[in-house]
Amino acid sequence: MNFDDTPQEAEFRATARAWISANAPRQYEDELRKSSLGRTVLKNADILEVAKAWQKKKADAGWACLHWPKEYGGRGSSPIERVIWQQEEGPFGQLSRMFIIGHGMCGPTMMAFAREEHKRSYLPPLASGEKVWCQLFSEPAGGSDVAGLRTRAEKDGDDWVINGQKIWTSGAHYSDYGILLTRTDPTVPKHKGLTMFFLDMKSPGVEVRPIKQASGASDFNEVYFTNVRIPDHQRLGEVGDGWNVSLTTLMNERSAIGAAVSTGFPELFEYCSSLMLDDGPAIEDRAVRSKLAHWAVKASGLKYTSMRAISALSKGERPGPENSIGKLVAGSMIQDVATYALDLQGAAGVVSGEDGELAGRFQAMLLRAPGTRVEGGTDEIMRNIIAERVLGLPGDIRVDKDVPFNKIPTKGRG
Amino acid sequence: MNFDFSDDQKQLRDQARKFLAEKCSPKAVRIVLDGKAPYDKELWKGLAEMGFLGVAIPEEFGGAGAGHLELCVIAEEMGRANAPVPFSSTVYLAAEALLIAGSDAQKKKWLPAIAAGEAIGTLALFEGKGNPSPKNVKLTAANGVLNGVKKPVADGGIADFAVVAARTGSSGRDNDISLFLVDLKAGGVDVKSLTNLDPTRGQAEITFKDAKAEPLGAAGEGWSILTQVLDRAAVLCAFEQVGGADRALEMGRDYALDRIAFGRQIGSFQAVKHMLADMYVSATLARSNSYYGAWALSTNAAELPEAAAAARISATQAFQHCAKNNIQVHGGMGFTWEFDCHMYYRRANAMALGLGSLSYWEDQLIDRMRKKNAA
């Protein structure tokens, strides 16, 4: 049992570290480190531009999408090298958030299902951040029931004609391309009538409307499709096989490990170490210490769970569903930690943004936290994954499973 | 990075699991639970024969000389089996105290006997309510004899010797405390068994009246040695707790698959699934914290005090959480004497207190984290 790199890993780490040290946009390091939760804001720069510039620099030097094959813009690295890179990239990795959907989900789906000429033309600019991608799955009536989607694709000559609406589409407002899951046959059970495509987000008939979130930020969008035409050669997988294609995408989403999970704990510990309460330093208060200890062991537990996963990865094992616990634990923890930090501030806790304590850091965390518990699968879906795929308990009962989609009752759904 | 046990260590785990499944069935545990024996002597003998009691004791003192990672692996299995033997008292507390502070003669006298299963040891620290603290030690040592009362002493009713914390000064500081070795079968020692939450591991009150004692470690060093012993025991107990938590989760999962209500396996109800998923989460976090503790223990890292406290808290929470919700999954049956759920519930709650309660370790963790941050 040790925390040491193998000689090859150590060499890779040293090379990565040296390159990052010489090339990263250090002027933003402090801001990126401090805005690890809540909102990532660069005061004097457009974060998208900074992110694109960093990504391009990485791509030109062969450090983009490390685990992708070289011919598609990657480096052909092992999974463990990807983890080492993430560790070394540290706060600069926050800039990759702009590309997380494209790199984590769209790219792998294209790799698995697109035609070779499409892979060669679309993937390298995706890897280098020149083109941004989004994923058009969720719908207003869907939520966790992704397969219940209603956006239609109808064949018209060599094209497909798309009508419908998507929602919760991260980054659609600055995306160039998207992968799109549609219904091509409403007369068969819901999982069987789906088909996947990719499309140019600038196509006529695509309308993107940003959603203002509870936090005040607008990271997500509604996307409307009115007679949007997609050529058949942009279909991913067979007609009617869209569900299997999307599972590949979702599996990739959940297998991302190694990046440090935000829990809010280091921020809270630091805050309590300096905060003075009426009776003295917060860190010496019995009740505060008990709370801190409770969260400390969750944070360290997650950290070492991730290290165990990395160890398994370096032995060539595949990351499994047990890695769902990171988001599940961290999501509600951030929310609780932020709530508690505000409680310690008393009445002043209500003041947010630049006017608030620590420039409103915990207030921003509080307002962003509910999203963390929902996006990429709610806490309840994460628990189902653990219960079903780790513990082997029965799947939820799905009464619509064998019913043709157009015969499923729709009352109360969009 | 290889943050995992080695293949050899995993093999040892399999071996221990198989041995305990055979020799320590719930039926065997119940003999002690029902008060028909103070501990499982046959199992104790078997553990000695397998080399498990001396796995971390150096070969020169009659042990296997393997190491503490190996001991962690065995501890987990002892917890999984809910073994009714004085393993933690003898191996984690008494043997560790001897390894840290014992003279060559003391080690030669007791460690081979421990490894051979011929001597049961314990730590006599507590004197009624309260957590580990020098100010809670009232028992005095003077002129080579001890006077005072220790209570509760884990496995005190069956122990051959005890490491006893005694007051030897009146400065009001930690160095008032010294440790002593006492042969409990000699004169001046009165042992009374106490009823307790977990009858599979006894508790006793021990009264010392001019009981002969020999110093263990230097005078005035008692508290510093004790802190090290407690930290090491915290990691080892954490593995027992992880083993117990895992077993409780497994029992709950199996029952949820087996039991039909409202025409369905109860494990198909989301409320039950989610309860079991949460048990898995807490057991996993505890396991990961314990692995870190094991690494720190086995390398004697500077991080040990912090890692030990984190492992202790996390494993205590996980075992209590899994043991109580295992009963909940079982419904009314879980609350019967006949089902095994309560054995783990008892063990979980007794173990939560044995090295000082959760609030004590929370305090320790924050102090240690502060110290590290200040450094």
**pLDDT per residue as tens digits for the range B349-360:** 999 999 999 999
**Residue contact A311–B1, C-beta within 8 A:** yes
User: Residues A253, A322, A375, A388: which is the catalytic one?
Assistant: A253
Least confident of A208-217, A223-232, B99-108: A208-217
pLDDT interval class at A214 (50, 70, 90): confident
Q: Residue B289: which of A292, A301, A390 has the nearest Cβ?
A: A301
Q: ipTM strictly over 0.90?
A: yes
Nearest-by-Cβ selection for B373 from A1, A273, A386: A273
Say whether A253 is catalytic: yes
Residue of chain B whose alpha carbon sits nearest to that of A84:
B1
Nearest residue to A385 (alpha-carbon basis) of A318, A333, A311, A320: A320
Percentage of chain B lying above the pLDDT 90 cut: 97
Average predicted confidence (pLDDT) for chain A: 91
Instruction: Flag the least confident range among A16-20, A30-34, A81-85, A358-362.
Output: A30-34
Which whole number is the average pLDDT over A330-357? Answer: 94
Tokens 């990719």 locate to A198
CA distances to A98, A107, A226 from A234, in Å: 24, 14, 18
**Residue A6: DSSP 8-state:** P
Residue A34 has pLDDT above 80, yes or no: no
Where would I find the H helices in A222-378?
Answer: 242-254, 265-274, 286-314, 325-345, 361-372
pLDDT score, position A69: 95
Using the predicted structure, report yes or no on whether residue A36 has a pLDDT greater than 60. Answer: no
On whether any CB of chain B is under 8 Å from the CB of A332, the answer is no
| Res. A257: pLDDT tops 70 | no
Q: Which of B158, B20, B32, B39 is nearest to B78 (CA)?
A: B20
Give contacts of A 109-138 with B, CB under 8 A: none
* A390 close to B (CB below 8 A): yes
- Distances from the Cα of B250 to the Cαs of A358, B255, B323, in angstroms? 45, 9, 11
Q: How confident is the model at residue A259 (pLDDT cuts 50, 70, 90)?
A: low
Kind and range of the H or E run holding A47: helix A47-60
* Closest residue of chain A to B283, computed from CA coordinates: A301
Best residue of B7, B68, B260, B285 to probe chain A, by most A CBs closer than 10 Å: B285
- Indicate the SS3 state at residue A12: helix
Taking residues A92-106, what's their average pLDDT? Answer: 90
d(CA A264, CA B120): 46
In chain A, the residue whose alpha carbon lies closest to the alpha carbon of B8 is A1
The residue in chain A having the minimum alpha-carbon distance to the alpha carbon of residue B6 is: A1
Which tokens is A48 given? 């998208």
CA dihedral B315, B317, B318, B319 (to 10 degrees): 80
How would residue B15 be classed by pLDDT, with cut points 50, 70 and 90?
Answer: very high
Query: What does the pLDDT read at residue A254?
Result: 54
Mean pLDDT across A129-155: 91
Instruction: Report the 10 Å Cβ neighbour count for B72.
Output: 29
Quick check: A293 and B370 CB within 8 A? no
What is the predicted pLDDT for the residue at A260? Answer: 63
Contact between chains at A293 and B361 (C-beta distance less than 8 A): yes
For residue A164, list its beta bridge partners.
Answer: A225
Measured between CA atoms, how close is A324 to chain B, in angstroms? 10
Query: Is A304–B274 a contact, with Cβ atoms under 8 angstroms apart?
Result: no
Question: Which positions in chain B touch A382 (Cβ < 8 Å)?
Answer: 277
Q: What is the pLDDT of residues A356-395, one digit of tens each?
A: 998 899 999 999 899 889 888 899 999 999 999 999 999 9
Residues of B in contact with A394 (CB under 8 A): 257, 264-265, 267-268
Terminal CA-to-CA distance of chain B, rounded, Å?
A: 26
Neighboring chain A residues of B272 at a CB cutoff of 8 Å: 393
How close B328 comes to chain A (CA, Å)? 16
From B266's Cα to the closest Cα of chain A, the distance in A is 9
Would you call A319 exposed, middle or buried from its count of C-beta atoms within 10 A (0-12, 13-18, 19+)? middle
Please report the number of interchain residue pairs, chain A to chain B, with beta-carbon separation below 8 angstroms. Answer: 153
Count of CB atoms situated within 10 Å of the CB of B362 = 22
Least CA distance to A299: which residue of chain B? Answer: B285
Q: For residue A290, give the chain B residue with the closest CA.
A: B362
Nearest to B165 by CA among B204, B208, B114, B201: B208
Which pTM does this prediction carry?
0.94
Query: DSSP string of A166-233?
Result: E---TTGGG-SEEEEEEES-TTSBGGGSEEEEEEETTSTTEEEEEEPPTTS---EEEEEEEEEEEEGG
Asked whether A367 and A214 are in contact (CB, 8 A), the reply is: yes
Which residue of chain A is at minimal alpha-carbon distance from B258?
A393
Contact B6 A1 (CB under 8 A): yes
Complete DSSP assignment for A282-312: GGG-HHHHHHHHHHHHHHHHHHHHHHHHHHH
pLDDT at A414 over 50: no
How far is residue A217's CA from residue A35's CA, in Å, rounded to a whole number?
Answer: 14
Query: Does residue A92 carry a pLDDT above 50?
Result: yes
Indicate which of A294, A317, A393 best probes the interface with B, i.e. most B CBs within 10 Å of its own CB.
A393
Residues of chain B with C-beta less than 8 angstroms from the C-beta of A1: 2-6, 69, 291, 294-295, 298
Which residue from A302, A387, A392 is facing B274, i.e. has the nearest CB?
A387
Question: What tokens does B361 get?
Answer: 């370790």
Query: Do β-strands A177-183 and A133-136 pair in parallel, antiparallel, or remain unpaired?
Result: parallel
Contact B365 A397 (CB under 8 A): no
On chain B, the residues whose CB falls within 8 A of the CB of A327 are: none
B21 CA to chain A: closest CA distance, Å?
Answer: 21
Mutate to test the interface with B, among A304, A307, A373, A396 (most CBs of B within 10 A): A304
Range with top average pLDDT, A138-147, A399-408, B211-220: B211-220
End-to-end CA distance of chain A: 54
The dihedrals phi and psi of A392, each to the nearest 5 degrees, come to 75, 25
User: Between residues A318 and A388, which one has the greater pLDDT?
Assistant: A388
Is A218's pLDDT higher than 90?
A: no
Q: Does A3 contact chain B (CB < 8 Å)?
A: yes
Residue type, A200: D
Q: Is A22 on the interface with B (CB under 8 A)?
A: no
Pair of tokens at residue A252: 């990739």
Instruction: Decide if pLDDT at A412 tops 60.
Output: no
CA-to-CA distance for A77 and A54, rounded, in angstroms? 19
Contact B365 A394 (CB under 8 A): no
Residues of A in contact with B6 (CB under 8 A): 1
CB B31 within 8 A of CB B62: no
Report how far residue A166's alpha carbon sits from residue A151's, in angstroms, rounded to the nearest whole number: 8
Cβ neighbour number for residue A129 with a 10 Å cutoff: 26
Q: For A33-58, what is the mean pLDDT?
A: 84
Length of chain A: 414
How far is Cα A45 from Cα A339, in angstroms, rounded to an integer? Answer: 30
With CB atoms and an 8 Å threshold, state whether A3 touches B6: no
Among A286, A278, A377, CA closest to A323 = A377
Structure tokens at B133: 């603290």
- Predicted pLDDT at A274: 93
Angle A244-A234-A123 (CA atoms, 0-180°, nearest 5)? 85
Residues near B117 by beta carbon (within 8 Å), at least 6 away in sequence:
B44, B45, B47, B48, B49, B53
| A40-49, A72-81, A363-372: segment of lowest average pLDDT | A40-49
Confidence of residue B176 (pLDDT cuts 50, 70, 90): very high
Strands (E), A59-186: 133-136, 152-156, 159-166, 177-183
Q: What is the DSSP letter of A357?
A: G
Q: Which residue has the higher pLDDT, A205 or A141?
A: A205
Instruction: Determine whether the interchain pair B3/A298 forms a contact, defined as Cβ–Cβ distance below 8 Å.
Output: no
* Tokens describing residue B195: 């009823």
Summarize pLDDT for B190-218 with one digit per residue, the tens. Answer: 999 999 999 999 999 999 999 999 999 99
Which chain B residue's Cα is nearest to A325?
Answer: B281
H-assigned helices in chain B: 7-23, 26-33, 41-50, 68-81, 87, 95-101, 104-115, 222-258, 270-299, 304-330, 341-354, 358-374
* CA distance to partner chain B, nearest, from residue A8 (Å): 11
What per-residue confidence (pLDDT) applies to A362? Answer: 94
**Which tens digits make up the pLDDT trace of B81-113?**
999 999 999 999 999 999 999 999 999 999 999
- Is the pLDDT at A247 greater than 90? The verdict is no
Which among B3, B50, B5, B4 is positioned nearest to B24, based on CA atoms? B50
How far apart CA B82 and CA B240 sit, in angstroms, is: 9
Return the SS3 of B358.
helix
Quick: pLDDT tens for A178-197: 999 999 999 999 999 999 99
Q: Tell me the chain A residues in contact with residue B281 when contact means C-beta distances shorter than 8 Å.
A: 325, 328-329, 386
Query: What are A100's two structure tokens?
Result: 């997380």
pLDDT at res. A398: 85
Cis peptide before B152 (omega within 30 of 0): yes
Nearest CB to A302 within list B272, B285, B369:
B285
> What pLDDT is attached to residue B230?
98
Residue with more model confidence, B166 or A2: B166
Residue A318 scores a pLDDT above 80 = no
pLDDT, residue B340, reads 97
Which of A 268-327 lie inside 8 A of B, CB atoms?
269, 273, 283, 286, 289-290, 292-294, 296-298, 300-305, 307-308, 310-312, 314, 322, 325
**Under 8 Å between Cβ of B91 and B48:** no
